[in-house]
A and B are shown apart, each in its own frame.
Chain A
Amino acid sequence: MSRRLRESLLGLALLVPSAIIFVWFFFYPLYRLFVMGLHQSNRTGTAERYVGWGQYSDVLTGHQFTEGVKITFTYVLYTVPLGLVLGVLLAVAANRRLKGIKVFQFIFSSTIATSVAVASVIFFVLLNPQIGYFSSIKFFSLANTDSALRGVALSSVWQNLGLTFVIVLAGLQAVPDEVQEAATLDGYGPVRRFFKVTLPLISPTLMFLAVVLVIFALQAFAQADILTQGGPLGSTETLVWKIFNSQQPIDQGVGAVMAIGLFGITLVVSLVQFLILDRRVHYGN
C-alpha cells in the first residue's frame, strides 16, 4: 500500500467516530423532519398518510407557527439589546486598573455558573405570582398575558450577563492603551472617547455577541417550562416550546414543519454570523 493511500485511509478513519454521530443524530433526523412534514399520523402513530407540501404552507402560515415566531422574536427583542447594553456597562465599569478589581470582575462574571434551569428557579423566587418578591411589579408580572414574556426574558438577561460581560471585557482589553491615550491627547473626553473610539473598535465583538444571544433566544425553552409552563394563555409559548409539545404522533407532522421553520431561521442567523466573521477576518489581515 502506498504511503499516500495509507494517509488517506487513516484520515477518513479518524473522521468515522464523529461522522457516525453526525449522520445518526443530525443529518438523518433532518431528512426525517422533511418526510414527517409531508405526512400525518393518527392518534396512536400506527398509521400514516401522505398529505404533501400543503402541510408546509398550512403550518408555516398558520396561527400556531406565526404566533410562536412572534413570541420568539419578541423574546429576542427583550433579551438581546438589553443584555448587550448591560454587558457593556459592566465591562466598561470593571475595565480599570484598580486594586481589587479582580473581585468585581469575578462577581460580574458569576452568572456564568448558572444554567438556564438554575436561573429560572432563581427568578421563580423573584417573580412567581404567589411567592415572588417582585411579583407586584406589573411590568414583569408572570400572571398577565401582556407582561409574562418580559418576566421570563428578565431571567435570560440576568443569566447571560456573565457571558456578555466576559466577552465584552476581553474585547475592551484587546483595545491598545495607546489608542485611548492618543484620543485623550487629542482632547477627547471620556464619553466622546467611548463612543468615537472604543465602541467602533469593539463593534465586531458586539456583533458576534449579538448573534450568540439571538441564537440563545431562538432556543429558549427551559425558562418558559419552569417559570410559566407556556402560560398564561399561551403568551410565553416560544417556538421551541411549541415544537417540544408537538411530540404526540398526531401532532408530529405539524411539529416537524415548525422545526423546519426554526431551522430556516437559525440558518439565516448563522449566515449573518458567518458574514460578520468573514468580514472581520479580512479586516484583521
Chain B
Amino acid sequence: MGTDLNQPRWKRLTWYAGLTALGLVVLLPVYMTFVRAISQPRAYALAKQPPWPVHIEWDVFSRAFRDGDLGRKFLVSAVVTVLIVAGQMITATLAAYAFTFLRFPFRRALFFVFMATLMLPIEVTLIPNVQTIRSLGWLNSYPALVGPFLATAFGTFLLRQGFRGIPRDLLDASQLDGYGHLAFLRRVAIPVTRPVVASFGVISFLAAWNQYTWPRAVVTEGRWETIQIGLRNVSTQSADHNNVAFAGALIAALPIVLLLIFLQRQLVRGLTTGAVKG
C-alpha cells in the first residue's frame, strides 16, 4: 500500500469519493436522530419527515435536562462510572501485582479461578444477584449499581501483561534500596506501565458508562436511573415529546465521543488487546 500517494489523481479522487460515501452511510443514523431531535415534532410530522430539520428548537437539549431529568441521570451515571473505574483500578492492580511479582501457594490455580469469572457475565447470574441486592435492601442505591463490577478479570489480565514487561532486576534493585513491594508498585510498576493502565482505564470507563442490563434490574425508582436506562422511556413517550428523548440519546453519547476524540490512542489500544498479536 506504499504507492497510494503516487497514484494518479483520478484514482485518488475515486477513492475519496468512495470513502466519503461510506462515511455518510455510517453517520446517517446519527444525522437523522439529530434532525429529529432539533425539529419541532408536530411541524416535522406535518412536513412529512424530510431529511432536514423543520422549525428548529435548540432548547430541546436544555429541555432534556429539565423535563427528562437528565441532570440527575447524568450525575448517577457519572458517580457509578467513577466508582467502578476507581474500584477496578485498585482491585485489579493489587491482584495483577500479586500474580506477577509474588510467590504464594496456589498461585496458578487462583489465577485460573480469577479468569473463570470471564465466563460468568452478569446476564447469567442476574436472577440470584438481584435477589442478593434485594435482600440487603440495596435496590436503588450506588452499592447495588457498582457492587458486581468492583473487580475485573479482564483488567487483572491486562495489567498482569503490562507488569510482566518489567525486568525482575528492577524489583531486586529496589528491594536492595529498602523499598517494600507496595512502594515498588506505586513508584515503579504503575509509572512504568502507564500506557497499559491508561488503556485499561479508558475501556473500564466505556464499559461502566454504557451499562444497561444490570442497572435496569436493580433500579425501580426514576431518580436512581442511569442515563442509559433512562433512554428506554423513548418507547413510552408520545410522538409529540420524543424529540426530548432523542436529544437525551445524543447527550448520553457525548462523554464517550470526547473520550474517542482525546484518548483515541489509549481507547484503540485497549480495544485491540488480544485481537492483534504484539
**Among listed B23-31, B59-67, B162-170, B188-196, interface-contacting one:** B23-31
- Pick the residue among B110, B232, B239, B268 that contacts A131 (CB under 8 A): B239
Q: Which residues of A contact B235 (CB under 8 A)?
A: 124, 226-227, 229
Majority secondary structure, A binding face: helix
Asked if A50 is at the interface (CB within 8 A of a chain B CB), the reply is no
* A24 partner residues in chain B, CB cutoff 8 A: 132, 147
Q: Mark A11-55, 1 if CB is under 8 A from B, else 0.
A: 110110111111011111110110010000000000000000000
Q: How large is the interface on B (under 10, 10 to 19, 20 to 34, 35 or more residues)?
A: 35 or more
A113: contacting residue among B4, B147, B256, CB under 8 A: B256
Q: Which residue of A lies closest to B36 (CB)?
A: A125
Using CB atoms, name the residue of chain B closest to A112: B260
- Interface positions, chain B 205-247, Cβ under 8 Å from A, are 206, 209-213, 216-217, 228-229, 231-232, 234-235, 239, 242, 245-246
The docked-state distance in angstroms from the alpha carbon of A181 to that of B2 is 8
Nearest CB in chain A: distance from B176 CB, A: 14
Rounded to whole angstroms, the CA-CA distance of A231 and B134 in the bound complex is 29
9 contacts between A and B (CB under 8 A): A14-B97, A17-B150, A25-B147, A99-B5, A107-B23, A177-B1, A221-B212, A240-B123, A270-B119
Taking CB atoms and an 8 Å cut-off, the chain B residues in 245-278 that contact chain A are 245-246, 248-250, 252-253, 256-257, 259-260, 264, 267-268, 271-272, 274-278
B148 x A21 contact (CB < 8 A): yes
- Interface residues of A, count at CB 8 A: 100
Chain A: which residue is nearest B93 at the CB level?
A14
Q: Is the CB of A32 within 8 A of B33?
A: no
CB nearest to A130 among chain B residues:
B239
A209–B118 CA distance with the chains assembled, in angstroms = 16
A110 and B212 contact, CB distance less than 8 A: no
In the assembly, what is the distance between CA of A123 and CA of B32, in Å?
10
Q: In the complex, how many angstroms separate the beta carbon of A49 from the nearest chain B beta carbon?
A: 18
Q: Say yes or no: B1 contacts A180, CB within 8 Å.
A: yes
Q: A15-B94, A25-B148 are in contact. Are A122 and B33 (CB under 8 A)?
A: yes
Chain A 96-124: CB-based contact to B (< 8 A → 1; otherwise 0): 11110100101111111111111011111
Is B161 on the interface with A (CB-CB < 8 A)? no
List the interface of chain A (C-beta within 8 A of B). 4, 7-12, 14-15, 17-22, 24-30, 32-33, 36, 89-90, 93-99, 101, 104, 106-118, 120-126, 130-131, 133, 158, 161, 163, 166-167, 170-171, 174, 177, 180-181, 204-205, 208-209, 215, 219, 221-222, 225-227, 229, 240, 243-244, 246-247, 252, 255-256, 259-260, 262-263, 266-267, 270, 277, 280, 284
**Chain B residues with a Cβ under 8 A of chain A:** 1-2, 4-5, 12, 15-16, 18-20, 22-23, 26-27, 29-30, 32-33, 36, 45, 49, 51, 90-92, 94-95, 97-98, 102-105, 107, 110, 113-114, 117-121, 123-132, 147-148, 150-152, 156, 181, 206, 209-213, 216-217, 228-229, 231-232, 234-235, 239, 242, 245-246, 248-250, 252-253, 256-257, 259-260, 264, 267-268, 271-272, 274-278
Bound Cα distance from A156 to B148, whole angstroms: 25
* A121-B234 CB under 8 A given contacts A7-B102, A180-B1: yes
**In the complex the two chains form, is B2's CB within 8 Å of A177's CB?**
yes
Chain B residues with Cβ under 8 A from A158's Cβ? 26, 29
